[in-house]
């Protein structure tokens, strides 16, 4: 049986543990994660790419809770960090500096200095200016820094515009035609070792064709740069593999591998992947309780939860769909409802026109596939303390991040 969250006779269950029991003990809102589901996703992806030398650098931005990072590291995952903070968290989770790639537009001098001093696997540089600054820092430290150039290939990833990153009009990467020149410049620059090419087209990709096109672009560039005498060690295809939030189908890891591997193999380079969402989204649920119910004539039925945009901002930010269901469904019928949060904004809606069946105040409600870009994008808006997080593993469960308190929040203030 597949690991993770499934409905059984007595309600929602995760790997043999009743979700209702955890929620009663820990309270709401709470994020629950299935370690087994994360392992399954990692192993499936890793096996799909078995035919080519590759390394999976988990993108911490999707969810960097230490307990989950430790699960991934134990499986052989490496790390992709997008800030100095994520580098620190990766190190604390036990990733070696040489297993970390550092991506991200707008890296500060402090972040570049940290990266240069650590000896990361690669700093993915986003512009000629960033390369110059990194070179200066490396020379000042007397170090050599391994760099990859992030290419903007001008490829449409067919995803939500907020999370599409590979078009010419986006702030990310170096335009294709400037990459060979930048590479020659890097080679001439003391302190930097150009070792790779990087691309990230966007996130939640449901079509592998753009990923195949990006792999082809990197392979062609590698050849061009190699002809100029520079050896490319690795091609980094970024992340982006989508998941099925609704009843649709997302591309399988096998389809992903089949699409990109021909070009990578021809280039004869080591493949780096930076998946985030596909490894953790299906492994997590957010659970809240019904705080109030409203049904007035001429207005929809509102199911008002004790959780909303402060815990999961994806629906309001991207119009994202997440399945929603009662932890212990009640028998019978009820009109479709607006599933909303308690925050002071109409946009604080988790799901529109949903059939969650009859519910009563106090019932626990699960929002599915919330393991990626949920907790990491949480906020304290309305002075709401952040949710607790629970890891379910090997038939047991434990709180891996306690619920924030108002004292935690105020501890930083005068």
Among 28, 127, 152, 204, which residue sits at the site for ligand LLP (rule: CB under 6 A)?
204
Rule CB under 6 A: say whether 36 interacts with ligand LLP: no
d(Cα 181, Cα 27) in Å, to the nearest integer? 56
| Termini Cα distance of the chain | 53
Among 17, 26, 32, 62, which residue sits at the site for ligand LLP (rule: CB under 6 A)?
62
Among 163, 179, 225, 375, which residue sits at the site for ligand LLP (rule: CB under 6 A)?
163
Rule CB under 6 A: say whether 237 interacts with ligand LLP: no
Give the residue closest to ligand LLP by C-beta: 239
In the complex, least distance from residue 236 CB atom to ligand LLP, rounded to whole angstroms: 8
In the complex, least distance from residue 278 CB atom to ligand LLP, rounded to whole angstroms: 6
The site string for ligand LLP over 122-161 (x = CB under 6 A, - otherwise) reads: ----------------------------------------
Q: Output 26 or 87, the one with its CB closest to ligand LLP.
A: 87
Which helix or strand (DSSP H or E) is residue 114 part of? helix 109-118
Q: Output 65 or 204, the one with its CB closest to ligand LLP.
A: 204
Q: List residues with catalytic annotation.
A: 344
Residues 103-122 that bind ligand LLP (CB under 6 A): 103
Among 15, 86, 111, 274, which residue sits at the site for ligand LLP (rule: CB under 6 A)?
274
Q: Output 232 or 313, the one with its CB closest to ligand LLP.
A: 313
In the complex, least distance from residue 393 CB atom to ligand LLP, rounded to whole angstroms: 22
In the complex, least distance from residue 200 CB atom to ligand LLP, rounded to whole angstroms: 4
Residues 355-394 that bind ligand LLP (CB under 6 A): 373
Q: Output 33 or 373, the one with its CB closest to ligand LLP.
A: 373
Q: Output 274 or 389, the one with its CB closest to ligand LLP.
A: 274
In the complex, least distance from residue 233 CB atom to ligand LLP, rounded to whole angstroms: 18
Sole window of 83-91, 126-134, 215-223, 272-280 interacting with ligand LLP (rule: CB under 6 A)? 272-280
Q: Which residues bind ligand LLP (CB under 6 A)?
A: 59, 61-62, 80, 103, 163, 200, 203-204, 238-241, 274-278, 314, 318, 373
């Amino acid at each position: 049986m597949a690991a993770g969250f499934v409905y059984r006779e007595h309600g929602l269950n995760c790997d043999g543990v009743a979700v209702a029991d955890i929620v009663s003990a820990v309270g709401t809102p709470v994020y629950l994660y299935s370690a087994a589901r994360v392992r399954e996703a990692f192993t499936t992806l890793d096996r799909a790419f078995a035919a080519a030398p590759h390394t999976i650098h988990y993108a911490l931005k999707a969810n960097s809770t230490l307990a989950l990072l430790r699960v991934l590291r134990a499986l052989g995952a490496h790390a992709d960090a997008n800030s100095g903070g994520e580098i620190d968290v990766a190190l604390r989770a036990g990733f070696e500096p040489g297993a970390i790639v550092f991506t991200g537009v707008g890296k500060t001098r402090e972040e570049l200095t940290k990266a240069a001093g650590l000896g990361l696997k690669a700093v993915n540089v986003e512009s000629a200016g960033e390369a110059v600054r990194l070179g200066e820092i490396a020379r000042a430290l007397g170090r050599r820094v391994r760099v990859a150039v992030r290419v903007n290939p001008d490829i449409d990833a067919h995803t939500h515009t907020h999370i599409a990153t590979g078009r010419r009009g986006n702030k990310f990467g170096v335009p294709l035609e400037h990459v060979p020149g930048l590479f020659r410049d890097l080679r001439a620059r003391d302190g930097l070792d150009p070792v790779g090419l990087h691309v990230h087209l966007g996130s939640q990709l449901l079509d592998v064709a753009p990923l195949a096109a990006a792999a082809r672009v990197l392979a062609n560039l590698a050849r061009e740069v190699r002809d100029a005498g520079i050896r490319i060690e690795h091609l980094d295809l970024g992340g982006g593999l989508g998941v099925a939030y609704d009843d649709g189908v997302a591309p399988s890891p096998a389809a992903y591998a089949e699409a990109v591997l021909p070009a990578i193999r021809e280039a004869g380079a080591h493949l780096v992947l930076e998946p985030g969402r596909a490894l953790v989204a299906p492994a997590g649920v957010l659970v809240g309780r019904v705080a109030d119910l409203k049904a007035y004539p001429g207005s929809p039925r509102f199911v008002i939860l004790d959780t909303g945009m402060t815990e999961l901002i994806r629906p309001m930010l991207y119009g994202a769909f997440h399945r929603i269901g009662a932890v212990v469904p009640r028998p019978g019928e009820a009109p479709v409802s607006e599933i909303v949060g308690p925050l002071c904004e109409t946009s604080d809606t988790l799901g529109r026109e949903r059939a969650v069946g009859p519910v009563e105040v106090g019932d626990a409600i699960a929002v599915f596939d919330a393991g990626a870009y949920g907790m990491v994008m949480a906020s304290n808006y309305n002075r709401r303390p952040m949710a607790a997080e629970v890891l379910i593993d090997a038939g047991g469960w434990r709180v891996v991040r306690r619920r924030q308190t108002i004292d935690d929040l105020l501890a930083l203030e005068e």
